[in-house]
C-alpha cells in the first residue's frame, strides 16, 4: 500500500500520482466513487459490470422439494385450464 499527499486545485480537482494508478491498475476513463465518512473521504474504483457464466449460477435457485426428473421437466405443459380462466 502506498500513500501520497495531494493538492486540491482551484477547480476542485486532484491528480492521482502515476505510481498509485499503476499499483491499483487504474487506467484513463476508469469511473471512481467518492464517499464521505466521519474520518474524511474514501475513493474507490467503481465496480466493473461482471458478466455471468453458466457455472456462476450453480446453486442459485434452491428447491426444498424432491428432485424433478428430466423426463418430467421435458413433458409438454398444458396451459388450457389457465387460458380458460383468463378468458372469463
- The pLDDT score that the predictor gives to residue 9 is 96
Q: Is residue 64 part of a domain?
A: yes
pLDDT value of position 85: 67
Helix, strand, coil in percent for the chain, rounding step 5: 25, 15, 60
Indicate whether 73 belongs to any domain. Answer: yes
Domain count, the chain: 1
Residue 52 in domain? no
Which among 48, 45, 49 is positioned nearest to 24, based on CA atoms?
Answer: 45
Q: What is the pLDDT along the chain (88 residues), one digit of tens a residue?
A: 888 999 999 999 999 999 999 999 999 999 999 999 999 999 999 877 777 788 878 777 777 888 888 888 888 888 777 777 666 6
Residue 76 maps to a domain: yes
Within-domain flag for 38: no
Q: Is residue 10 part of a domain?
A: no
Domain residues for the domain of 79 are: 58-87
Residue 82 domain-assigned? Answer: yes
The per-type count for the chain, helices as H runs and strands as E runs, is: 3, 2
In a domain, 79, yes or no: yes
Amino acid at each position: 500500500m502506498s500513500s501520497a499527499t495531494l493538492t486540491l486545485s482551484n477547480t476542485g480537482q486532484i491528480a492521482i500520482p502515476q505510481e498509485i494508478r499503476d499499483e491499483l491498475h487504474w487506467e484513463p476513463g476508469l469511473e471512481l466513487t467518492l464517499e464521505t465518512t466521519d474520518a474524511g473521504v474514501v475513493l474507490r474504483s467503481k465496480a466493473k459490470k461482471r458478466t455471468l457464466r453458466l457455472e456462476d449460477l450453480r446453486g442459485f435457485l434452491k428447491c426444498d422439494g424432491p428432485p424433478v426428473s428430466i423426463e418430467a421437466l421435458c413433458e409438454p405443459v398444458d396451459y388450457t385450464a389457465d387460458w380458460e380462466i383468463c378468458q372469463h
